[in-house]
Structures are given as structure tokens and as C-alpha cells.
Structure 1
Amino acid sequence: MMKKNKLSLLYIILLFIGLFVISCVLVKYTNININSISDNSFLFTYLGIFLGFALTIFTFIVSMVDKIKEAIEKDESEKKAQKEIAQSNILSFYSEIKDDIFLIFYFFIIVTALSFFKNVDIPFINISNFFITKTQLIIALKLELFILSLYAIYDLTSSAFKISEATGIFKKDKKAS
């Protein structure tokens, strides 16, 4: 289990680094107008709306989890091991949704910090040695956060549908008997 967590952390770190490099290359070497995506008001609105959306999904799922647990406990055709697996899957979806919500919230905080950092000059950090300017670096970070938040929204929606399907399956089983 510990080895799996270390591999997952390694993949996440590699994903962040890879997306950062891709974002830097896009900002530095392409003529794509990324300024609309990296605009502070756009990102605040975007992340705020999706944070609200995520919390709504979370509330929806919390109410469904109780129904699913009751359905699992009442279903006498399933063995105890199958019930434990089903409950473990539900807790996994629940944990995934919670992680996605916190990720979007952290992105919101980072975007806020980046908007302040844009106008602050830190004398002991010499960014002129990098291959991109400070403004390009901030835009690249915002682009990376935008892409990662899109994935978090996808993951949230996917988890919500998986839990919804689980509830639907239990309803079909009850109607069949």
C-alpha cells in the first residue's frame, strides 16, 4: 500500500512538472492568445463557479451515500465480502470528490497569490536567469492550474455519475425481485 502511494505521488509530481513545462513552452513559443485564460477575473469567476459546482455535487453525493449504504445492508443476496467491497468503493469515490474539491480550492488560493505576486518584485530572486520572463511564468502557472482544474472537474463529474449509477443499480435489483 505504501509503495502504491509513493508511485501515485511520483505520478502526480511528474504530471505537475510536465504540465508546467508544456505551459511554459506554449506561453514562450506560440502565438496562442492565452491572456484571456490567464486573466485574473476570468480565473476567479471560473474557479469560484466550479468550486460551487463541486460543493453542490458533494452535497448530492453525501445524500446518496447514505441511500447506497442502506441498500447494500438490506440486500441479502450479496455476501459480506461483496458488501465490504461496495462500501470501500463508495468511500473511495467520496474521498476522490473531497480531494478534487480541496484541489480546486487550493487553485483558487494560488491564483489569488499569483495575482498579488505579479506586481511584487522580490530582490533576492533573480528570474532573469530563466528562459521566460516573470509575466510569462505567472501566465504559464495560471494555464497549468486551468488545465488541472478542468481535470478535477472531469473527475468530480465522473465520480458523481459512478455513485449515481450505483444507486440506480440497487433500484433495478429491488424492482426485479
Structure 2
Amino acid sequence: MKLSRRHTLLGLAASMASPAFADKGAVGDPLPFAADLAQTVENGPSALALKIKDEDKQPVDIANWLGSWTLLSFWAPWCKQCRNEMPSIARMNRQLDHERVRLLPLAFDWRGPYFVRKFLDEINVTDLPVYMGDGENLDATLGLSRLPTTAILDPEGVLRFTIAGEAIWDDEKTLTWLNSLEI
């Protein structure tokens, strides 16, 4: 079957609207899917010693997330790659099976939660909570320091997977993988 020019152009336009062609800059390859970047962590450390504060600067106990898989998304408003992937993370969060997998976006910004919320509002991501992390505590507890990085904790709070670098989070492969993690 020979495709008309119109069908060819429509197909090209549809493929370029895919998340795989998300803006990575003027040049470069398309961003990878988060599931393709996942690295298994053998004998991972417990995350229960992480220091977290909520938007009101009140301590939050990560034990509140026990019982389901937890995606700890480490990011900062001043980090270009973090800024780029936050809309994809927000779209992913809307499609997660929250009884099985929950997102805890953990921001690192010396200016505090007000500026983090302001940034999220600017990019029209209004449905994610603001949690603040402590970089030294993150490194000491999980041995992680690169942004963006997502640590995936099992239902007991143990680090099982890491995903380092900018990625697409709302693709079918990543969503299927995350929503199929065994509790």
C-alpha cells in the first residue's frame, strides 16, 4: 500500500508529538525511558533515616510510605534536567496505581519550599506535593548525590532501584513496569 504525502506527514507529526521527542535541547538524541535506565541495587540500604520536611517545614517520617513501593524523585528547580523532566513525572504520577506505587518528589533548594512551589506553579505542575531534602543526609543514607535521580524503595523502605539522569516517565513501558512491581 502506497501512503499519500498527507498520511506520511501526519504520521511524522504524530511520532514527533511522542514523549520520546521531548525537548532535550537543540541537538541530541531523544530522552531515554525511565524503565530503560533502571539499575538494580543489590543489598540496598534502608531509607528510613532520610530527613524530609514538608511544605510547612515540618519533619516527615518516611515510614509513612511503608507498605507500597516509593519513588523518591530527587530534583531541584535550579537543575535544568530536573526542570525538564518534572512535567513527565507529574503525568506519570497521575497514572500510577497509588496502592502499589507512590511518588515522593524530594526537592533540594536552599531558598526553601516557597520557591519550589513557585517553580512548580510556573510550569503548571500543581498536583505534586512539595517535600524538601537534605543533601548531606541523602548522600549519607543512600549514597546518592546526582540530580536528577530517582531511588525506588521497596515496601519495607529498602533501596532496590536507581534511575540517574533525565528521562521520560510517562511512557507505556515505564508505567507498566512501575505498576507491576510486586508488593
Greater fraction of residues in strand: 2
TM-score w.r.t. length of structure 2: 0.23
Larger RCO (CA within 8 A; separation ≥ 6): 1
Which of these two proteins has the greater Rg computed from alpha carbons?
A: 1
Greater fraction of residues in helix: 1
